């Protein structure tokens, strides 16, 4: 067997508590040449923080031993081992704690553990080894700084406790702080051990839930320089400005060194309690890299009397090389083991900054309170003597401890063996003298309600590079209202393009995933961030096109009135009296109505205007065509009446002519009444033709009714055309039939071309086409029938005689 590993600091007692701390950080392996017994592992480079943990453990034990209330007649001893920050040394120290010093070949185990509880380890990976080794023997392990969530598994670690919170809370808090500052694009680097891997896994899961994208997630271990170099190269190439560093202190020292060498600065580093407040990271060049860093840290608590203790009492009464002789339970000490520690004898400036000291203090008191209940200690009787306490009894008692230490903290263990999560948020800042301080700028307390757990005072924060303005770290800038996010293929969801919303769609929020369709009568504004009422389109009187149509309509009325006045003034002349002057005046009156009915098509459609425009159009045009038809029949009858013995005019005299006009018109009136009764025209908002505007139009109500009105007008027009065409060559100097033929030809041509134009014209142009057809056909009738007569009246008065009209004036 090899030489047993000796405790660095020890003291006998009725109950013994073991301690494992990385008091030194560099391990030197002996030569394994297999020709002599292997020497003990040697360690160097004192780790001040863990040395203080060993001191506070002893301080708490001595305080308890002096107490008259907690364990009045029971003394607590201790054995503190240096694990050197090495898994090998940690395992060796664990075995030494469990077996004791005196164990020779051939001896058998007495199944009695020489210790009742172990305080330690510092790092999670070493604590995992410690807990797995002691677990089968149910020896309680209470860690002051092992935060790996993996240790919360009570099935694998049933006897593990800790006076610090699990990384489950810290990892989630990291995601919350990133979310709080609006960073959606971060990098992540972690230690390749239990602490870093488990913590980073929880962070990545929470970040995904919170919509945070991770550009890269890389890891390395302290003994892997090649991986470290790849990590630094990745950080150098990345575009993110924020890095989550879930690293142990040693890995952070290695990373900081490489970042300083390659001058990689202005990264906003977010750290964890393992390194955020580590004094060992403060070097002349470290602030260029870590200046402005934010991170979580355990609360800084001042333990009364500890500062004085580490200066004098510890060295006078505890430290082995300060005593004259070692006590009888110790092997002979070699003071050369302590030379590097003696350098710290008069140094205490770091004591107020120690953040884990209170956790060790609470761990020792937790063991003491469990022993208090096991020994059934009461005042003033004290504790019962003669009781044998087993480590597994201590485990059960620890589950029930509930007490308050002298600095006010309440101590109890939850069902995972951990305490409540309480962190300070600290910021790396530089004082005016150049010194670096870890300034508290907020806190995270998992015991508070969810909306009160996380508080940060951003006004007190100095950001990376000494900036006063918070850095931005996004893969893609926010999409403004009026656009939507479109994911970039093959990249995280935080990387997207901003696509403008389509016509008729809006987004009124920043970073909208989808555009919303505007309701039926609404349309998107130019910025696509608001639905506004669609523009309503109809042929209004204020438009240029409407003004032109009104002008021509009134011009037609005026022209018809002038013709009427001219005819009335010449009503006794043969050309006016020909073909029944009453029909001529009635035709002129109907033309005035035709011109005027076009005005009903202009303006905002209403229920009454929709009914009026179509019925007025149908009736006035039938009246007009009826008059023309009557005149055509008169021409034919007049010619037939010239034959000997003919009495045609007796059957189609003035009375019959008036009656025919009335009868033809009455039929259209009846059609219109039936149409209006069954399904009248009505104003309608047409939302289908244009998406961006509403066409306010008159719906026909009944297409059959409108077709009947147009069909009846067409029937009369065709009949009139046929009769006039047949009578066009009758012998007369002024045969009106040929002018009626031409007018009906124009009339039919206009209305035949109207149909496809009406169907294909959009919106208000449909109405304009109908008005144009009304005006064109009206002007066609006016000019073709009355222009020749007006010409003769005004410019050829000598031909306005009965003889000329009958063709009886001899040719000269």
* pLDDT for the residue numbered 213: 92
Q: What average pLDDT does this structure show over 146-173? A: 93
Q: What average pLDDT does this structure show over 739-757? A: 78
Residue 121: asked if its preceding bond is cis (omega within 30°), the reply is yes
Is the sign of the CA dihedral 170, 173, 175, 181 positive or negative? Answer: negative
HEC sequence for 359-406: HHHHHHHHHHHHHHHHCCCECCCECCCCCCCCHHHHHHHHCCCEEECC
pTM score of the predicted model: 0.66
Q: For residue 236, is pLDDT > 80?
A: yes
Q: Using 50, 70 and 90 to split pLDDT, how confident is the model at 103?
A: low
Residue 370 corresponds to which tokens in the numbers above? 């469990």
Burial code (b: 16+ CB inside 10 Å, e: under 16) for 654-668 equals eebbeebbeebbeeb
**Rg of the Cα trace of the chain?**
54
* pLDDT for the residue numbered 79: 95
Decide: 355 and 297 in contact? Cβ < 8 Å: yes
As a whole number of angstroms, the distance between CA 253 and CA 191 comes to 12
* pLDDT for the residue numbered 463: 94
- Long-range CB pairs of 476-481 (<8 Å, 24+ gap) are 478/510, 478/511, 479/507, 479/510, 479/511, 479/512, 480/510, 480/529, 481/506, 481/507, 481/508, 481/509, 481/510, 481/512, 481/527, 481/528, 481/529
Decide: 251 and 227 in contact? Cβ < 8 Å: no
* pLDDT for the residue numbered 716: 87
3-class SS of residue 516: strand
Decide: 266 and 241 in contact? Cβ < 8 Å: yes
**pLDDT, tens digit, for every residue of 47-69?**
888 999 999 999 999 999 999 88
- Judge residue 32's burial from the number of C-beta atoms within 10 Å of its C-beta, 0-12 exposed, 13-18 middle, 19 or more buried: exposed
Q: What average pLDDT does this structure show over 768-789? A: 86
As a whole number of angstroms, the distance between CA 687 and CA 522 comes to 10
**pLDDT, tens digit, for every residue of 623-674?**
988 888 887 777 677 665 554 555 555 555 677 777 888 888 899 899 999 9
> Roughly what angle, to the nearest 10 degrees, separates helices 607-640 and 703-726?
20
- DSSP states along 600-643: GGSS---HHHHHHHHHHHHHHHHHHHHHHHHHHHHHHHHHHTTS
Q: Which of 261-270, 287-296, 582-591 has the lowest mean pLDDT?
A: 582-591
* pLDDT for the residue numbered 2: 60
* pLDDT for the residue numbered 324: 47
CA distances (Å), origin 114, targets 72, 98, 277, 544: 22, 6, 36, 108
Q: Using 50, 70 and 90 to split pLDDT, how confident is the model at 812?
A: very low
**pLDDT, tens digit, for every residue of 665-707?**
899 899 999 998 988 888 888 887 788 888 888 888 888 888 8
> Roughly what angle, to the nearest 10 degrees, separates helices 607-640 and 736-760?
150
* pLDDT for the residue numbered 396: 94
The more confidently predicted of residues 63 and 732 is 63
Decide: 591 and 625 in contact? Cβ < 8 Å: no
Q: What average pLDDT does this structure show over 75-79? A: 95
Closest CA to 93 of 5, 195, 1: 5
- 402 phi and psi, to 5 degrees? -160, 100
Decide: 204 and 188 in contact? Cβ < 8 Å: yes
3-class SS of residue 458: helix
* pLDDT for the residue numbered 173: 93
Q: For residue 171, is pLDDT > 80?
A: yes
* pLDDT for the residue numbered 107: 56
Q: List alpha helices for 185-302, DSSP H.
A: 194-209, 225-237, 249-261, 286-290
pLDDT, averaged across the chain? 86
Pairing of strands 185-191, 213-220: parallel
The more confidently predicted of residues 555 and 732 is 555
Q: Which of 401-415, 539-553, 724-738 has the lowest mean pLDDT?
A: 724-738
* pLDDT for the residue numbered 332: 44
Q: Using 50, 70 and 90 to split pLDDT, how confident is the model at 578?
A: low
CA distances (Å), origin 180, targets 177, 457, 461, 607, 748: 5, 12, 14, 59, 77
Decide: 31 and 90 in contact? Cβ < 8 Å: no
Q: What average pLDDT does this structure show over 230-256? A: 94
- Long-range CB pairs of 670-673 (<8 Å, 24+ gap) are 671/618, 671/705, 671/708, 671/709, 671/712, 672/614, 672/615, 672/618, 672/619, 672/705, 672/709
As a whole number of angstroms, the distance between CA 33 and CA 193 comes to 31
* pLDDT for the residue numbered 347: 87
Residue 380: asked if its preceding bond is cis (omega within 30°), the reply is yes
As a whole number of angstroms, the distance between CA 282 and CA 295 comes to 15
Decide: 610 and 683 in contact? Cβ < 8 Å: yes
Residue 190 corresponds to which tokens in the numbers above? 């972690």
Decide: 81 and 97 in contact? Cβ < 8 Å: yes
3-class SS of residue 426: strand
Q: For residue 619, is pLDDT > 50?
A: yes
Decide: 556 and 595 in contact? Cβ < 8 Å: yes
* pLDDT for the residue numbered 751: 77
User: What angle is formed at CA 332 by the lines to CA 328 and CA 336, rounded to 5 degrees?
Assistant: 140
Q: For residue 538, is pLDDT > 50?
A: yes
The more confidently predicted of residues 772 and 322 is 772
* pLDDT for the residue numbered 111: 61
Burial code (b: 16+ CB inside 10 Å, e: under 16) for 735-755 equals bbbbbbbbbbbbbbebbeebe
As a whole number of angstroms, the distance between CA 776 and CA 749 comes to 10
**pLDDT, tens digit, for every residue of 319-350?**
877 544 444 444 344 577 788 888 888 888 88
As a whole number of angstroms, the distance between CA 800 and CA 692 comes to 61
- 776 phi and psi, to 5 degrees? -65, -45
As a whole number of angstroms, the distance between CA 199 and CA 201 comes to 5
**pLDDT, tens digit, for every residue of 14-47?**
999 999 999 988 877 777 677 777 777 778 888 8
Q: Using 50, 70 and 90 to split pLDDT, how confident is the model at 736?
A: low
- 281 phi and psi, to 5 degrees? -85, -10
As a whole number of angstroms, the distance between CA 496 and CA 476 comes to 6
What does DSSP assign to residue 310? I
- Sequence-separated (6 or more) residues with CB below 8 Å from residue 650: none
The more confidently predicted of residues 2 and 185 is 185
* pLDDT for the residue numbered 331: 38
Q: For residue 575, is pLDDT > 80?
A: no
**pLDDT, tens digit, for every residue of 441-461?**
999 998 889 889 899 999 889
3-class SS of residue 810: coil
Q: Using 50, 70 and 90 to split pLDDT, how confident is the model at 218?
A: very high
Would you give the distance in Å from CA 333 to the centre of its chain?
A: 67
């Amino acid at each position: 067997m090899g030489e047993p590993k000796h405790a660095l600091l020890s003291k006998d007692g009725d109950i013994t508590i073991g301690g494992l701390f990385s008091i030194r950080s560099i391990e030197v392996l002996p030569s394994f040449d297999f020709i002599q017994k292997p020497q003990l592992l040697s360690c160097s480079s004192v780790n001040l923080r863990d040395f203080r943990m060993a001191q506070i453990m002893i301080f708490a034990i001595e305080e308890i031993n002096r107490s008259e209330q907690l364990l009045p007649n029971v003394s607590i001893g201790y054995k503190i081992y240096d694990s050197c920050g090495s898994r090998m040394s940690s395992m060796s120290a664990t075995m030494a704690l469990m077996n004791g010093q005196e164990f020779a070949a051939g001896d058998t185990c007495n199944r009695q553990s020489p210790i009742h509880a172990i305080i330690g380890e510092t790092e999670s990976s070493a604590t995992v080894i410690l807990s797995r080794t002691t677990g089968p023997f149910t020896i309680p392990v209470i860690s002051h700084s092992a935060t790996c969530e993996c240790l919360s598994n009570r099935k694998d670690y049933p006897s593990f406790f800790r006076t610090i919170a699990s990384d489950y809370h810290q990892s989630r808090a990291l995601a919350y702080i990133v979310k709080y500052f609006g960073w959606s694009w971060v990098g992540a680097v972690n230690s390749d051990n239990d602490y870093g891997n488990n913590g980073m896994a929880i962070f990545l899961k929470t970040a995904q839930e919170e919509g945070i994208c991770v550009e890269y997630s890389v890891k390395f271990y302290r003994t892997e320089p090649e991986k470290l170099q790849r990590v630094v190269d990745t950080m150098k190439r990345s575009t993110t400005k924020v890095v989550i560093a879930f690293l142990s202190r040693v890995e952070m020292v290695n990373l900081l060194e490489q970042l300083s060498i390659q001058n990689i600065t202005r990264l906003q580093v977010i750290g964890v309690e393992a390194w955020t407040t580590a004094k060992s990271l403060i070097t002349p060049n470290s602030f260029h890299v870590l200046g402005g860093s934010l991170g979580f840290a355990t609360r800084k608590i001042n333990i009364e009397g500890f500062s004085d203790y580490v200066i004098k009492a510890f060295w006078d009464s505890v430290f082995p090389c300060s005593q004259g002789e070692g006590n009888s339970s110790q092997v002979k000490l070699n003071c050369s083991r302590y030379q590097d520690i003696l350098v710290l004898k008069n140094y205490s400036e770091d004591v107020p900054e120690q953040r884990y000291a209170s956790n060790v203090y609470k761990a020792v008191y937790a063991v003491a309170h469990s022993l208090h209940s096991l020994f059934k200690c009461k005042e003033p009787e004290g504790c019962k003597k003669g009781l044998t306490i087993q480590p597994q009894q201590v485990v059960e008692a620890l589950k029930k401890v509930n007490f308050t230490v002298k600095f006010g903290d309440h101590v109890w263990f939850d069902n995972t063996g951990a305490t409540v999560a309480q962190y300070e948020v600290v910021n790396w800042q530089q004082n005016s003298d150049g010194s670096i301080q870890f300034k508290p700028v907020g806190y995270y307390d998992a015991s508070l309600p969810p909306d009160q757990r996380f508080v940060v005072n951003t006004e007190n924060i100095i950001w990376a590079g000494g900036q006063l303005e918070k850095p931005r770290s996004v893969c893609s800038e926010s999409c403004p209202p009026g656009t939507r996010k479109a994911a970039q293929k093959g990249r995280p969801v935080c990387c997207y393009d901003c696509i403008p919303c389509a016509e008729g769609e809006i987004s009124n929020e920043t970073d909208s995933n989808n555009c919303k369709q505007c309701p039926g009568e609404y349309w998107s504004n130019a910025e696509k961030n608001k639905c506004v009422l669609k523009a309503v389109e109809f042929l209004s009187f204020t438009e240029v096109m409407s003004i032109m149509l009104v002008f021509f309509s009134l011009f037609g009325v005026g022209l018809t009135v002038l013709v009427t006045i001219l005819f009335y003034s010449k009503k006794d002349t043969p050309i006016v009296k020909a073909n029944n002057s009453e029909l001529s005046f009635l035709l002129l009156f109907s033309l005035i109505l035709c011109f005027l009915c076009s005005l009903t098509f202009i303006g905002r459609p209403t229920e009454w205007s929709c009914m009026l425009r179509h019925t007025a159009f149908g009736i006035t045009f039938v009246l007009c065509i009826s008059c023309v038809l009557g005149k055509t029949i008169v021409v034919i009858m007049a010619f037939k009446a010239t034959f000997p013995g003919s009495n045609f005019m007796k059957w189609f005299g003035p009375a019959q002519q008036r009656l025919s006009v009335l009868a033809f018109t009455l039929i259209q009136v009846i059609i219109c009444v039936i149409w209006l009764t069954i399904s009248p025209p009505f104003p309608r908002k047409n939302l289908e033709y244009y998406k961006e505007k509403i066409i306010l139009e008159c719906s026909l109500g009944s297409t059959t009714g409108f077709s009947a009105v147009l069909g009846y007008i067409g029937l009369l027009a065709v009949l009139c055309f046929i009769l006039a065409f047949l009578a066009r060559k009758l012998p007369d100097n002024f045969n009106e039939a040929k002018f009626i033929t031409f007018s009906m030809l124009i009339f039919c041509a206009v209305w035949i071309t109207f149909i496809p134009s009406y169907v294909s014209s959009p919106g208000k142009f449909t109405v304009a086409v109908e008005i144009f057809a009304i005006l064109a056909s009206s002007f066609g009738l006016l000019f073709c029938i009355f222009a020749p007569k007006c010409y003769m009246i005004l410019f050829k008065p000598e031909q306005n005689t009965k003889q000329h009209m009958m063709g009886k004036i001899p040719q000269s």
